A and B are shown apart, each in its own frame.
Chain A
């Protein structure tokens, strides 16, 4: 039961994207279509799991003075391997993902899970935690990509869903959905919706804005 919580906790209650606001850069960049978002989600989940398991296995022997360098070296190597595999076996998708698979290295999500969880837990729970976080990230990515591809191009996974207007009638794609700002809006609305349902996720304000008593009048 406890293990199941480790897996499910990061998917909704402690989602890396909507609660911790990590991995936003890639969430903006690769969500113009479901295919790229799914590839990115799978790549990140696999890299996250592999890095968590490896780091958790050798956690007792990582000197704390160089632990971040060791973690980043391992993560970077795994990312390069993932990138090479995608370039070899999914070449057209790798062209569309361009540099964003490589940028998994800088995704705080991966380093964050390594540092916060894998360094203090045995490989089993570390793998589950990584899987949970990967799935949480994937879920958000796929939701955003679903909305953007559906309304931006009228397709899903490249298949036409909404009949696109060619002769004046039908659906006119919202080109705005394919631009980066739309991902910001969708993410913001998602976070809003999630926090309205789960009030516990609302952060207490860091400070209150006091009325400006020293306002100078002309």
Chain B
């Protein structure tokens, strides 16, 4: 009868010559298994703490973005209370989703854990998302019922990471009030310089669409820029292109285009 006692099997394994095939395989397998368990356990156990960190940082960046727009900070101060109004937009219709409470969906979950999505054709999928979540929260700031600020989330596939940003438009929905990167993992020293406030400041005051209503806001490589163009970062062409594509997508017909049209028409 074969000996099945695990302890003696273990001893037998250790007693094998190191170069034997069985021991080589066993050591390789055991080391991988132990390492897998340790790495996975750390990742799972520490995930809640890391997510809390990330959320806190995103909130801080939102605040920083609002603070970078002088009149907006003053306006929020002035109106007081829970300043920004959150609207959950159903991108299939371009209307606010009436049956979803605004505080049940934050931007992070809208993209990481969407309730429903619409698959995108490759040629329309400028932002490289694969599928677009249907419900996305946007933030709106009003003064005396008049639209003052609209903050839209922009998510796009960058060179080596998913870039998440906020694009703030002024009340006329034609002027960029601010652009702020929330999360990115681009090449340090090159693409990662989109984090630089000096670069983000180049967005302020740019116009969104030409007189014909055609979307003209874009990131361009070097050279002269006009009132619609933001100069990209040297050495980070792919990152710049990714942001450009993200802007084209999210301000376009598959993104917030219809929403902005409706907001511009009736200011609701």
Whether A63 and B31, one on each chain, are in contact in the complex, defined by CB atoms closer than 8 angstroms, is no
Whether A77 and B39, one on each chain, are in contact in the complex, defined by CB atoms closer than 8 angstroms, is yes
**Interface flag for B1 (CB, 8 Å):** no
A61-B14, A61-B18 known, 7 other contacts, Cβ within 8 Å: A60-B18, A70-B27, A73-B31, A84-B50, A85-B46, A88-B46, A91-B54
Q: Which residue of A lies closest to B192 (CB)?
A: A98
**Interface flag for A80 (CB, 8 Å):** yes
Q: Which residue of A lies closest to B37 (CB)?
A: A77
Number of interface residues of A (CB under 8 A): 24
**Interface flag for B35 (CB, 8 Å):** yes
Chain A contacts with B in 106-146, Cβ cutoff 8 A? none
Whether B39 and A88, one on each chain, are in contact in the complex, defined by CB atoms closer than 8 angstroms, is no
Interface mask (B184-207 → A, CB under 8 Å = 1, otherwise 0)? 000010001000000000000000
**Interface flag for A210 (CB, 8 Å):** no
Whether B23 and A61, one on each chain, are in contact in the complex, defined by CB atoms closer than 8 angstroms, is yes
Chain B residues with CB under 8 A of A85: 42, 46
Chain B residues with CB under 8 A of A81: 38-39, 42
Interface mask (B31-49 → A, CB under 8 Å = 1, otherwise 0)? 1100100110011001001
Alpha-carbon distance A60/B38, docked complex (angstroms): 22
Chain A residues with CB under 8 A of B42: 80-81, 84-85
B residues whose Cβ falls under 8 Å from a Cβ of A? 14, 18-19, 23-24, 27-28, 31-32, 35, 38-39, 42-43, 46, 49-50, 53-54, 57, 188, 192
**Interface flag for A99 (CB, 8 Å):** yes
Chain A residues with CB under 8 A of B50: 84, 87-88, 91
**Interface flag for A69 (CB, 8 Å):** yes
Whether B28 and A80, one on each chain, are in contact in the complex, defined by CB atoms closer than 8 angstroms, is no
Alpha-carbon distance A99/B192, docked complex (angstroms): 12
Alpha-carbon distance A84/B45, docked complex (angstroms): 10
How distant is A112 from chain B, measured CB to nearest CB, in Å?
Answer: 20
Chain A residues with CB under 8 A of B53: 87-88, 91
Chain A contacts with B in 57-109, Cβ cutoff 8 A? 60-66, 69-70, 73-74, 76-77, 80-81, 84-85, 87-89, 91, 95, 98-99
Chain B residues with CB under 8 A of A63: 18-19, 23-24, 27
Q: Can you list 9 A-B pairs, Cβ within 8 angstroms, ordered by A?
A: A61-B18, A64-B18, A64-B19, A66-B28, A76-B35, A84-B43, A84-B50, A91-B50, A91-B54
Selected from B19, B27, B35, B49, the residue in CB contact (under 8 A) with A77 is B35
Chain B residues with CB under 8 A of A88: 46, 49-50, 53
Chain A residues with CB under 8 A of B32: 73
Instruction: Given A81-B39, A81-B42, A87-B53, answer yes or no on A65-B14 (Cβ-Cβ < 8 Å).
Output: no
Selected from A66, A73, A76, A89, the residue in CB contact (under 8 A) with B24 is A66
How distant is B61 from chain A, measured CB to nearest CB, in Å?
Answer: 12
Q: Which residue of B lies closest to A80 (CB)?
A: B39
How distant is B32 from chain A, measured CB to nearest CB, in Å?
Answer: 6
Whether A99 and B19, one on each chain, are in contact in the complex, defined by CB atoms closer than 8 angstroms, is no
Chain A residues with CB under 8 A of B24: 63, 65-66
Chain A residues with CB under 8 A of B14: 61
Chain B residues with CB under 8 A of A61: 14, 18, 23, 27
Chain A residues with CB under 8 A of B192: 98
